[in-house]
Amino acid sequence: MEACAVVYGCDTNDAKEVYFQRFLQLDLDSLERDGEALRERQEMAEEVQRRLHTSDAPPQEDRLVDLKDTVDRLPSLFDDEEESVVASDDPDASAEKDTDIDITEAYAPLYLSFLEHVSGARPVVDVLRQFEHFDATDRLHERRRWRAVMEKLISESYHQLTADDIRDAIVLNHQLHSVKFFDLKLGDTVREIVQVLQRDVNAGSGNRDTPAEVSPAHPERRV
């Protein structure tokens, strides 16, 4: 609420965007870059679909087509155990899954890296690196939802808040408090460093070991 109050008090849109940028980079420019990243992932997903379903693959991609069944089963690694068992027991469902695969943008970089590794274009380490970025797509969507929630609060459209908005607001509140705490600690550290430098310059090296909260120039040695 404090962050929304700060943005609410701004007179211009430029000032609002400056504060949005400070608040976890939720400004429009940053969100536009997020949108470009999402579009790239969607293009990757389309490329994976094209490679898996093409019937006139060139000779160097024959191995990719041969391994289509293996790649088709990769999504089951991320399903619940019960769903995986049901899917394996139902031959019709398996057949439908083999003919129509939905590669989401979240997993598209992994699939594409795997296909390029099979064709010899990438080392296996590039495939393994993609496991570190599984939540990247979720984070991009989450940041957009955070901006939307803040816009509703700033415009006092509380009646438009949904249950999902409230959950996002709780998460955002914790994130902003973490940033605020870090900024406060950083400010304390900077002030402490400045005090030490000023003390060394003004009082000489004899007081170098004096605690930061004690001022050698003060009659009672207090800051």
Residue 2 is assigned to a structural domain of this protein: yes
Residue 1 is assigned to a structural domain of this protein: yes
What pLDDT does 212 receive?
52
Residue 147 in this model has a pLDDT that exceeds 90: yes
What confidence tens digit (pLDDT) does each residue in 50-59 have?
Answer: 777 774 444 4
What is the identity of the amino acid at 211? P
The average pLDDT across 159-177 equals: 90
| Total tally of structural domains belonging to the chain | 1
Residue 175 is assigned to a structural domain of this protein: yes
208-213, long-range: CB within 8 Å, 24+ apart, which pairs? none
Residue 151 is assigned to a structural domain of this protein: yes
Residue 171 in this model has a pLDDT that exceeds 80: yes
Residue 139 is assigned to a structural domain of this protein: yes
Structural domain boundaries, residue 190: 1-56+101-198
Residue 45 is assigned to a structural domain of this protein: yes
Residue 86 is assigned to a structural domain of this protein: no
What confidence tens digit (pLDDT) does each residue in 87-145 have?
Answer: 444 545 443 444 344 556 677 777 777 777 777 776 777 766 766 666 777 888 899 99
